[in-house]
Amino acid sequence: MKTRKLGNLEVSALGLGCMGMSSAYGPAADKGEMIKLMRFAHDQGITMFDTAEAYGPFVNEELVGEALAPIRDKVVIATKFGFDIDLETGARRGGTNSRPEHIKAVAEASLKRLKTDRIDLFYQHRVDPAVPIEDVAGAVKGLIAEGKVEHFGMSEAGVATIRKAHTVQPVTALQSEYSLFTRDPEAELLPVLEELGIGFVPFTPLGAGLLTGKIDASTKFDATDFRNLVPRFDADAREANLALVAAITSIAVGNRTTPAQVALAWLLAQKPWIVPIPGTTKQHRLEENIGSVNLEMTSADLAEIETVLAKFEVVGERLPEAVLKMTGL
pLDDT of residue 328: 52
C-alpha distances out from residue 227 to 19, 57, 221, 318, Å: 14, 19, 7, 10
63, part of any domain: yes
Which of 25, 55, 123, 178 is labelled catalytic?
55
pLDDT of residue 327: 67
217, part of any domain: no
108, part of any domain: yes
What is the per-residue pLDDT across 39-90, written as a single tens digit (0 to 9) for each?
999 999 999 999 999 999 999 999 999 999 999 999 999 999 999 999 999 9
- Structural domain harbouring 182: 3-206+270-294
Q: What is the pLDDT along the chain (329 residues), one digit of tens a residue?
A: 999 999 999 999 999 999 999 999 999 999 999 999 999 999 999 999 999 999 999 999 999 999 999 999 999 999 999 999 999 999 999 899 999 999 999 999 999 999 999 999 999 999 999 999 999 999 999 999 999 999 999 999 999 999 999 999 999 999 999 999 999 999 999 999 999 999 999 999 999 999 999 999 999 999 999 999 999 999 999 999 999 999 999 999 999 999 999 999 999 999 999 999 999 999 999 999 999 999 999 999 999 999 999 999 999 999 998 787 766 54
Which element (helix H / strand E) includes 153? strand 149-155
What is the per-residue pLDDT across 113-129, written as a single tens digit (0 to 9) for each?
999 999 999 999 999 99
Query: How many domains does one find in the chain?
Result: 1
84, part of any domain: yes
254, part of any domain: no
164, part of any domain: yes
Active site residue 55: yes
Between CA 143 and CA 128 the distance in angstroms is: 19
127, part of any domain: yes
CATH number for 39: 3.20.20.100
